[in-house]
């Protein structure tokens, strides 16, 4: 079962597509309302401005794609949403980000809880140098899950969700770094899902993978739709077009990233309001 992709307007038909898919983890969220709203976000690395005045809403249960040329600040934008920017030296964020009535930029916020609710997948798969099982178990234990039976159940469930269970069920205790690239990336997704996040940020999750593995991950992301809110950065315009409900286009102007246009995916690709967007999605620039 797969989300049918020939919906003319994915959002108006969201109600139906959300219930599809054999996914077991994650709650249903069939109500496309803004889950994250970003207002006037600016992001600086030291004296360099990477992003300026970005405002957009991320809708619950939808897949939002961010497209744009290299260096326009897409990764930086994702990092701001789960406060991973705290880890980057010299990075300074201003503006407002609200997540579920929570002020993300609040310095007193417990970022660990925030990051549990907003998971992140990186461009290069980052399996920890542990066994497959320990990769998923470690964050679970860190978040206070102690009972082994419970942990094993979660491990199996999330591995099934990412379609990895059959491939690795006999080698749960072998090193995760021995898996293939595509398997590693799915393991990373499983690891994030195990924490039951509300949002998944994906930074070019397919770009380090071959077309087959990339297709598998893409199918997986589609199945997340409706259960999780997904923000995905991709350089693959066709992929964005295939899977996203909403799309945002970022562009470098005066060496600073700006959001040029944001809207429903179909509108961005078929009837862009902005000339820059039109030339980018038609492959004329960028």
Partner 1 sequence: MSKDFLATVMIWLTALLISGFFLYLLTDMLIHGLDRLSWAYLLDAPLDAGRSGGIAPIVTATAILVLIAIIVAAPLGLATAVLLTEFTRQKSHFGRFVERSLDVLASVPSIIFGLFGNAFFCLFLGLGFSLLSGGLTLACMALPILIRSAVEGLRSAPDEYRLAAAALGMTRGAALLHLLLPTAAPALAAGLMLGIGRAGAETAALIFTSGYVDRMPESWFDSGRALSVHIYDLAMNVPGGDASAHAAALVLVLLLFTINSIAMGLTRRWQRGRIHSL
Partner 2 sequence: MIWSWHNILSLSRTDSILAALLRLCALLSAAIVILILLFLISESWPVLQHVPLSRFISDASWHPAQGLYNIAPMLGATLLSSLGAVLLATPLGIASALFCHYYAPTALAIWHRRTIALLAGIPSVVYGFWGLTTLAPLIGRLHPPGVSLLTGIVVLTMMILPTVALTVDAALAGVPAAYLRGAAALGLTRWSMINGVVLPAARSGIASGIMLAAVRAIGETMAILMVAGNVVQYPDSLFASVRTLTANIALEMAYAMGDHRAALFVTGLALLAMVLLLVGFAEFFKQDAAHV
Q: Which residues bind partner 2 (CB under 8 A)?
A: 110, 112-113, 142-147, 150, 154, 196
Cβ distance to partner 2 smaller for residue 10 or 83 = 83
**Cβ contact 232:217 at 8 Å:** no
Cβ of residue 209: shortest distance to ligand ATP, in angstroms? 16
Q: Which of 193, 253, 247 is nearest to 223 (CA)?
A: 193
Kindly give the residue spans of alpha helices, DSSP state H, lying in the chain.
14-18, 74-81, 111-117, 132-142, 148-161, 165-168, 181-193, 211-224, 237-243, 265-270, 275-281
Q: Which residues bind partner 1 (CB under 8 A)?
A: 82, 84, 86-87, 89, 111-116, 119-120, 122, 124, 126, 128-130, 138-139, 142-143, 177, 188, 191-192, 195
User: For 6, phi and psi rounded to 5 degrees?
Assistant: -95, 15
Query: For residues 20 and 252, which CB has a smaller minimum distance to ligand ATP in the complex?
Result: 252
Task: Give min distance, CB of 183 to partner 1, in A.
Answer: 16
Q: How far is the CB of 286 from ligand ATP (least distance, A)?
A: 11
- The answer to whether residue 240 forms part of the interface with ligand ATP (CB under 6 A) is no
Sheet with strand 102-103: strands edge to edge: 102-103, 91-99, 34-45, 48-59, 256-264, 246-253, 63-67, 229-233, 199-203, 118-121
Q: Does 88 bind ligand ATP (CB under 6 A)?
A: yes
Least Å from the CB of residue 75 to partner 2: 25
Is the CB of 130 or the CB of 237 nearer to partner 1?
Answer: 130
Query: Which of residues 38 and 154 has its CB atom nearest to partner 2 in the complex?
Result: 154
Cβ count near 12 (within 10 Å): 11
* Tokens representing residue 102 in the block: 């929570």
DSSP reduced 3-state for 219: helix
Residue (175 or 181) nearer to ligand ATP, CB: 181
Binding-site ranges for ligand ATP (CB under 6 A): 45, 50, 70-76, 88, 90
């Amino acid at each position: 079962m797969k989300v049918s992709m020939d919906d003319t307007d994915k959002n108006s038909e969201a109600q139906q597509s959300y219930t599809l898919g054999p996914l077991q983890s994650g709650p249903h969220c069939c109500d496309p309302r803004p889950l994250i709203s970003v207002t006037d976000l600016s992001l600086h690395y030291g004296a360099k401005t990477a992003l300026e005045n970005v405002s957009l809403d991320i809708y619950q249960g939808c897949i939002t794609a961010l497209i744009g040329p290299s260096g326009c600040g897409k990764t930086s934008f994702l990092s701001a949403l789960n406060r991973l920017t705290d880890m980057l030296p010299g990075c300074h964020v201003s503006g407002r980000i609200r997540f579920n009535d929570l002020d993300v930029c609040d310095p007193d916020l417990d970022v660990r809880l925030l990051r549990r609710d907003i998971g992140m997948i990186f461009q290069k798969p980052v399996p920890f140098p542990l066994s497959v099982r320990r990769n998923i178990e470690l964050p679970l234990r860190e978040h206070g899950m102690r009972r082994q039976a419970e942990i094993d159940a979660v491990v199996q469930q999330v591995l099934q969700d990412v379609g990895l269970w059959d491939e690795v069920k006999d080698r749960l205790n072998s090193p995760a770094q021995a898996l293939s690239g595509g398997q590693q990336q799915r393991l990373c997704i499983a690891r994030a899902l195990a924490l039951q996040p509300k949002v998944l940020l994906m930074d070019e999750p397919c770009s380090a993978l071959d077309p087959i593995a990339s297709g598998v991950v893409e199918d997986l992301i589609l199945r997340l739709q409706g259960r999780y809110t997904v923000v995905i950065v991709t350089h693959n315009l066709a992929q964005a077009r295939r899977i996203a409900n909403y799309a945002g286009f970022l562009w470098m102007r005066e060496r600073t990233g700006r959001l040029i246009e944001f809207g429903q995916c179909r509108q961005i690709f078929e009837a862009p309001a902005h000339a820059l967007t039109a030339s980018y999605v038609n492959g004329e620039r960028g």
